[in-house]
């Protein structure tokens, strides 16, 4: 195994190892993948993250072929579809974080109640309809919910984020969880006032200029991705 592949396998383990301490997922729930050569490396199914070794990570090709002695995550279909249809995606994180999952169980998107919703690439974070985990139908729904976005909720399930790297996808998952928690808290008092379409366009434009190096910095909040 070449050094670069071994490093990426270890990064996948470290990413999933952060799920529990960060409160994003517990036990064996959640999974992650990263683009590798003409396929992907993905975490194994139903295995405690503290026990995963680099050799347990599964490589899968675009035709479903695989190498390794473990079964891939049951959600490999939507990981595979995202990487196939999103050239900008280098890695994917899927977790069952409490606040995002609570909203997903209500089948509610995260609207433009706060300008940082724009970190996911648009003026809301959509909620994909419910389908059985691991199914082709769920993969289709995830692709649709992620159109023009880097994050989505999955009804009665959890959340998924896309990033150029594993670090970026993990940071976005934390951002989505924070936004979901804030939105749920606000809704206990009343329906939050939403930013207008024009206001969100201004935020997205500012984030774009930051990414392109034409804006010195964003005054607060996470770095746009």
Q: CA-CA distance, 111 to 75, in Å (whole number)?
A: 26
Helix (H) or strand (E) holding 47: none
Long-range contacts of 19-24 (CB under 8 A, 24+ apart): 19/49, 19/95, 20/49, 22/174, 23/97, 23/98, 23/177, 24/95, 24/96, 24/97, 24/173, 24/174, 24/177
φ, ψ of residue 43 in degrees (nearest 5)? -70, 150
Cα 95 versus chain centre, distance: 8
As a residue count, the chain comes to 225
Residue 148's region, left for phi above 0, alpha for psi from -120 to 50, else beta, is left
Q: CA-CA distance, 118 to 152, in Å (whole number)?
A: 12
Let me know if 75 is a catalytic residue.
yes
Q: CA-CA distance, 126 to 104, in Å (whole number)?
A: 10
Q: Which of 2, 75, 177, 202 is catalytic?
A: 75
> With contact defined as beta carbons under 8 Å apart, do 53 and 75 qualify?
no
> With contact defined as beta carbons under 8 Å apart, do 37 and 9 qualify?
no
Active site residues: 75
């Amino acid at each position: 195994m070449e050094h670069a592949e071994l490093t990426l396998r270890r990064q996948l383990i470290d990413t999933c190892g952060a799920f529990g301490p960060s409160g994003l997922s517990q036990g064996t729930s959640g999974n992650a993948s990263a683009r590798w050569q003409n396929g992907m490396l993905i975490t194994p199914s139903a295995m405690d993250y503290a026990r995963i070794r680099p050799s347990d990570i599964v490589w899968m090709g675009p035709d479903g072929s695989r190498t390794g002695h473990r079964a891939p995550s049951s959600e490999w279909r939507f990981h595979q579809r995202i990487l196939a249809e999103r050239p900008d995606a280098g890695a994917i994180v899927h977790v069952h974080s409490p606040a995002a999952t609570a909203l997903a169980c209500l089948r509610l998107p995260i609207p433009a109640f706060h300008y940082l919703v724009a970190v996911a690439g648009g003026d809301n974070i959509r909620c994909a309809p419910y389908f059985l985990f691991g199914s082709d139908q769920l993969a289709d729904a995830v692709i649709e919910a992620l159109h023009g976005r880097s994050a989505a909720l999955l009804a009665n399930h959890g959340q998924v984020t896309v990033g150029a790297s594993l670090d970026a996808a993990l940071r976005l998952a934390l951002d989505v969880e924070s936004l979901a928690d804030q939105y749920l808290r606000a809704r206990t008092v009343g329906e939050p006032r939403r930013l207008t379409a024009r206001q969100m366009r201004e935020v997205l434009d500012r984030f774009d200029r930051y990414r392109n190096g034409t804006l010195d910095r964003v005054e607060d909040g996470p770095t746009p991705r």
